[in-house]
Amino acid sequence: MTSYATEFGPRELRRIGTHLVEVINPDGSVPRDRLNFDRRNVELRQNSDGSYTLNGRLTGPVGAALFSVLQPLARPRVELPQVATRRSAVTTDAELTKYSR
């Protein structure tokens, strides 16, 4: 294409470029919605400590629906006080257990 730039004007270069794209990719580009649909995935893995790790990619509508379902179930994080002694750590564990039910 760069060699054509010295021989042709902008209008002709555009036609040449358009023709090249049509020859190289006759089906055109894949629509964004289709790409997002094809790339979707969800992985839920249990960790050795019993917790779970969730990772994935969702389409916009599915992500919004899942977010609206999970948001009310998510609890705000409890700020933990500084633990000065072992006894205060036990008390903190008891308090956290109370909030986890």
Cα dihedral angle (87, 89, 94, 98), rounded to 10 degrees? 150
Q: Residue 43 corresponds to which amino acid? A: E
Beta bridge partners of 56: 42
Q: Residue 57 corresponds to which amino acid? A: R
What pLDDT is attached to residue 65?
A: 93
**Are 45 and 52 within 8 A, CB to CB?**
yes
Backbone Cα Rg of the chain: 28
CA dist., res. 78 & res. 96, Å (int): 8
| CA dihedral over 65, 69, 74, 76, signed as positive or negative | positive
pLDDT-derived band of residue 43, with 50, 70 and 90 as boundaries?
very high
| CA dihedral over 82, 85, 91, 93, signed as positive or negative | positive
What pLDDT is attached to residue 95?
A: 64
Tens digits of per-residue pLDDT, 48-82?
999 999 999 999 999 999 999 888 888 776 666 66
pTM exceeding 0.75: no
